[in-house]
Amino acid sequence: MGSRVRWGALSAALACGALASAAFAQSPAVNGNPTRGKLLSQTCLGCHGITGYRNAYPNYEVPKLWGQFPDYIVAALQEYKGGVQRTHPTMHAQASELSEQDMDDIASYFGGEPLRKGPTPTSARTPPAAAAVCVACHGADGVGIVPQYPSLAGQHPDYMVQALREYKDGERKNPVMAAMAAPVTEDNMWIIAEYYASLKPSLKTLPRPELRWSVRR
Ligand code: HEC
Ligand code: HEC
């Protein structure tokens, strides 16, 4: 996890997509077993598999994970498990149960077919001025330029604003995103989030299995 943070800081210092890609090309890609991941992730669907499911306090929609990069999903789970960079109590409890192998397997299932940059993004428009710096890593089409930068296309806007507020106030600790979020006003957070949320192809809510397992929770 430490190395990921250093890579992030390095790429911010470089502030150059091409060099950042070159640096990331060295880190091993997540390559888990999606069949096992599907079995392990039944509990997760109780929140991430329900369209419109919300976190209570504060109130925002739980993030979409289907189509996200497996590398980013594993990094996020490690940060919840560690409990320092991401402090969300439920996700800390969820991630604490998972071994590294579990995380790789779950992430490989959730990623499904991660969003990829197409030759001509169908819905890429001119990003709002406030997002000019963001597109260097998250793309004008909302697809991260490397698998360690989360894709944002179609993500819930209120979740993105919540994340940005937390990077800004230090509740979420990430040196790159702390610097990025610091100057962004609340109004611009919403403008940027609505832009990314509107892009297609999009991240999706996880598909739910046919089983009626949810009554057991
Ligand atoms: C009780 C509801 C709930 C359950 C169960 C749950 N999650 Fe979450 N998850 C959330 C919420 C809420 C967030 C956003 C937390 C935050 O604000 O950082 C989240 C965030 C995440 C993220 C970060 C997404 C991103 O874009 O950064 C990942 C990855 C994740 N969850 C995976 C899982 C996995 C894997 C499981 C099962 C082992 C799971 N979750 C179970 C509610 C839940
Ligand atoms: C140098 C690359 C870089 C730039 C530029 C950048 N980001 Fe990020 N962004 C990241 C990384 C890396 C993460 C994951 C951080 C973590 O582990 O919490 C992230 C996370 C996020 C998240 C949380 C996503 C999720 O699923 O939880 C949002 C929202 C976000 N960035 C929005 C922005 C916005 C808005 C800007 C411009 C103001 C921006 N980013 C600029 C690299 C970047």
Give the whole-number percent of the chain exceeding pLDDT 70: 80
Residue 52 Cα to ligand 1 midpoint, Å, equals: 14
User: Which pLDDT score, from 0 to 100, does residue 211 have?
Assistant: 52
- Ranges 45-59, 74-88, 197-211, most confident: 74-88
Give the HSE-up count for residue 45: Cα atoms under 13 Å, Cβ half-sphere.
21
Task: Give the nearest ligand 2 atom to 184 CA.
Answer: 38
Residue 150 Cα to ligand 2 midpoint, Å, equals: 7
Write out the DSSP string of 110-154.
HHSS-----SS-SS--PPPGGGTTTHHHH-TTS--SSTTSPP-TT
Task: Confirm if 108 and 65 have CB atoms less than 8 A apart.
Answer: no
Flag whether pLDDT at 82 surpasses 90.
Answer: yes
Q: Report all structural domains of the chain as residue ranges with CATH numbers, in order of start.
A: 2-19+32-216 (1.10.760.10)
Task: Confirm if 71 and 57 have CB atoms less than 8 A apart.
Answer: no
C-alpha torsion angle, residues 94, 31, 117, 167 (rounded to 10): 30
User: Which pLDDT score, from 0 to 100, does residue 1 have?
Assistant: 39
Flag whether pLDDT at 142 surpasses 90.
Answer: yes
User: Which pLDDT score, from 0 to 100, does residue 22 have?
Assistant: 42
Prediction pTM value: 0.89
Query: Stretch 95-104: mean pLDDT, rounded?
Result: 97
Residue 210 Cα to ligand 2 midpoint, Å, equals: 34
Mean pLDDT score across all residues of the chain: 86
Per-residue pLDDT band for 210 (boundaries 50, 70, 90) equals low
Task: Give the nearest ligand 2 atom to 192 CA.
Answer: 35
Flag whether pLDDT at 137 surpasses 80.
Answer: yes
**Phi/psi of residue 55, each to 5°?**
-75, 140
Residues in CB range of 128: below 8 A, 6 or more apart: 188, 191, 192, 195
4 lines ligand 2 (CB under 6 A): no
For 173-207, how does the pLDDT look when each residue is reduced to its tens digit (9 = 90+)?
999 999 999 999 999 999 999 999 999 999 999 98
User: Which pLDDT score, from 0 to 100, does residue 122 have?
Assistant: 58
Residue 211, token pair as written in the block = 């089983």
